[in-house]
Amino acid sequence: MTTLHDFAELALPERGLSVVSTLRADHSIQSSLVNLGVMSHLVGAADVVAFVTYGKVKLANLRVRPQITLSVRSGWHWATVEGTAEIIGPDDPHPAVDAERLRLLLREIFTAAGGTHGDWDEYDRVMAADRRAAVLVRPERIYGN
């Protein structure tokens, strides 16, 4: 049986590079690449898969149909997490997250995905300008080889 720990271990060598799939209104699948990490949910102790995104497509799909699938691979080994997305961002407020907490959350996700940055003020500026959002996925099904 594949676990969330297995999923996280497979994501590390690829800096969290993952295929994320959402459901379009016509019930076809929309897929793209993101960098993700596994971390504790900001409210509660459960671990979640998290990534940062912006733009219209993924967020629009997830706001209406929050079902999401994330797949990682390393060599011939792979793992998939299916779950429900929770969006936290400037256009998707959360009662426990003010602007300062969102700024720090985006950094936490970035570093959980293996990212580093030489100028955190510039990182924060770009995240705010792009209206980037955190996507947290509580695993409902995990499988792989």
Domain assignment of residue 11, yes or no: yes
How many domains does the chain fold into?
Answer: 1
Domain membership of residue 21 (yes or no) is yes
Looking at the domain assignment, is residue 123 inside a domain?
no
89/53 Cα distance (integer angstroms): 10
The reply to whether 45 falls in a domain is yes
44 occurs within a structural domain: yes
**pLDDT value of position 114:** 87
Q: Which two tokens stand for residue 42?
A: 């900001």
Place of tokens 């999401």: 68
Q: What is the pLDDT of residue 86?
A: 96
pLDDT of residue 13: 86
User: Left if phi > 0, otherwise alpha if psi is -120 to 50, otherwise beta: which for 127?
Assistant: alpha
Q: Where in the sequence is the domain holding 76, given as residue range(s)?
A: 4-94+134-144
Q: What is the pTM of this model?
A: 0.94
Q: Quick check: 139 and 49 in contact, CB under 8 A?
A: yes
Mean pLDDT per 10-residue segment, the chain (145 residues): 92 91 96 95 88 92 97 94 97 95 96 92 96 96 96
In a domain, 116, yes or no: no
In a domain, 122, yes or no: no
Q: Are 15 and 114 in contact (CB under 8 A)?
A: yes
Within a domain: residue 110? no
pLDDT at 61: 95
